[in-house]
Structure 1
Amino acid sequence: MTRRPSSALLGPVGLVLVGILSVQLGAAIAKGLFDEISPTSMVWLRLVTSALVLGAITRPRLTGRTRRDWLVVLGFGASLATMNWAIYQSMSRIPLGIAVTIEFIGPLSLAILGSRRARDLVWVGLAGAGVALLGIERTGLDLLGVACALLAGAAWAAYILLSASTGRRWDGLDGLAVASVVAATGMALPALMSAGTSLWDGRLLLLGALVGLLSSVIPYSCELIALRSLRPAVFGILMSLEPAAAALAAIVVLQEHLSPLQWLAIACVVAASVGATRSGSAPGGTPGRRDGGGGEHWTAPGTLAT
């Protein structure tokens, strides 16, 4: 059996990294607009963009569906809406890199719980150490922001589980497209109520669409192409870099700097995610990034909800 030359992996690896950076750049841009538009309204603009693009691409078949098909995709859409709303609420209150790091605990816990090997407890301890380091940071963190990040992580775990059921009942990306419509529809009223007149500002509408493209459409496209030639384990390890990428994007876009202790906490969670991936404890799944526009095969906590 011949090995794939390392040079042949550079393209797919580069695409995954572009997807990661695109997601976190979109999150940083979104956070920078929270003084002008509420996080809830920004989430809605992002979901609408994803729904429109995915719907135009897939044109999902809606006829001939069973009641169970619709219940599954409705749950999928609800988890998608909750995940996005919660992480945006979190990052409006605490640093972006910290919010994504705490959110990662959800899918990481799901991955490790799926393992029956005692050695995987090491990754539990490492992730726990990262969270503990955040807890002892003297600058403190907004408790509601932390709670929202944990909620986003729990919704992300639910999203992963529901993505498998959706993938079995809906062809290709049809389920994700319909779930995006469900999520956008569910968020419409809260978004309109919290937006005031800002939602009809042409500049903010364009920036919201840009966030949707950066956070959903571009990453999905990159990952879909990369996964044709990249092993799932390698993909999972790369996706484990997302908390660090979020922190770096926040530095560049928002000048949001972290303390050495906070960087150490991020490193612990990233290392735990990489370890869980390499040990093969992550559950398999179907395509689906937490932000509603991704396309990764679930092999590790990666992509996510920002």
Structure 2
Amino acid sequence: MRGRSEASGVALPVLALVAGMVSIQSGAALAKGLFPVVGAAGVTALRVGFSALILLAVWRPWRRGPERGEIGAIVLYGAALGLMNLLFYLALRTIPLGIAVAIEFTGPLAVALAGSRRGIDFAWIGLAVLGLGLLLPLGDTTPLDLTGAALALGAGLCWAAYIVFGQRAGRAGGGRAVSLGMLVAALVVAPVGLGHAGTDLFTPEILATGLVIAVLSSALPYSLEMFALTRLPRPAFGVLMSLEPAVAALAALALLGERLTAVQAGAIGCIVAASAGITLAGRRSGRKPPNRDAAG
């Protein structure tokens, strides 16, 4: 009876985490379907703008504003968050969702490996580099668009900056920092989205779809991930999060009809394995595994 209770206690947060990954990648797939109407920049403005409104309503950071020393970290954190979302959606214009997520994962992997001197960690680096190399258009029958790959890599670099600056901004209070950072992100991407889509962003149908994207891509998955994080060991959480590129590829296949070649699927597998390996190695060395707090 006790074993059954423990199993059910683990199963629920695992299901919540998987549901969160499915939600955020379904939101990305829905966002990609809106590109022909308002463009990638317009969709980014809708997603980040509505996410900022939701977080501000939940956390109400105006009750106690940030101290002067915290403002710089929050601004850098928010700018990295906004650019990460913008570059990621720009990448989705020309490369499949699963591949974009896999390339973007190089950002948190780099942060997790920063300063490492363990031999096994360099093996995981090699596996991740192999995965990236397989994604390049070297003899594949469906070559990958280099501009899209570069944009996804840029999103990964912004993800790394987001993690670093987010740790500093978090000293102002987690929820408050996230809501203010998302507000900064919205201010960064809104001019780009408005400049591209103009008044088309404000039609009722587009606004409604943008709200759904924000809920699927931010509010719902982050709530589910927080539920799982408080009930799962951190290493288990990190290993499960490593599956996100594979979840993205499956969501893209189901919702967008994006099929990957065997080489591309193998490349994503290499990056997933590298992320899981780094997470487990981080458990033994005391490092925190890479994960997403408010990205994606």
TM-score bin (small chain): over 0.9
Is 1:144 aligned to residue 147 of structure 2? yes
Closer, same or farther: CA 47–16 of 1 in aligned 2, 3 Å: same
Alignment match, 2:262: 260
State the secondary structure of the residue aligned to 2:11.
helix
Is 1:46 aligned to residue 36 of structure 2? no
Closer, same or farther: CA 193–257 of 1 in aligned 2, 3 Å: same
Alignment match, 2:161: 158
TM-score normalised over the length of structure 1: 0.90
Closer, same or farther: CA 282–48 of 1 in aligned 2, 3 Å: farther
Asked if the contact 2:23/2:221 (under 8 Å) is kept, the reply is yes
State the secondary structure of the residue aligned to 2:181.
helix
State the secondary structure of the residue aligned to 1:196.
helix
Asked if the contact 2:21/2:247 (under 8 Å) is kept, the reply is yes
TM-score normalised over the length of structure 2: 0.93
Asked if the contact 1:152/1:305 (under 8 Å) is kept, the reply is no
Distance 2:133 2:169 in 1: 35
Distance 1:141 1:82 in 2: 22
Distance 1:174 1:24 in 2: 25
Distance 1:44 1:64 in 2: 25
Asked if the contact 2:121/2:278 (under 8 Å) is kept, the reply is yes
- Identify the structure with the greater helix proportion: 2
The one of 221, 232, 244 equivalent to 1:230 is 232
Distance 1:193 1:224 in 2: 35
Ranges in structure 1 where 5+ consecutive residues have no aligned partner: 285-298
Ranges in structure 2 where 5+ consecutive residues have no aligned partner: none
Distance 1:64 1:31 in 2: 36
Alignment match, 2:271: 269
Residues 91-240 of structure 1: matches in 2 within 5 Å?
Answer: 91-135=92-136, 136=138, 137-168=140-171, 170-240=172-242
Give the total of aligned pairs: 290
Alignment match, 1:287: none
Closer, same or farther: CA 147–236 of 1 in aligned 2, 3 Å: same
1:7: how far off? Answer: 2.6
Counterpart code for 2:240 = L
The one of 277, 280, 290 equivalent to 1:300 is 290
Alignment match, 1:12: 13
Asked if the contact 2:111/2:290 (under 8 Å) is kept, the reply is no
1:153: how far off? Answer: 0.3
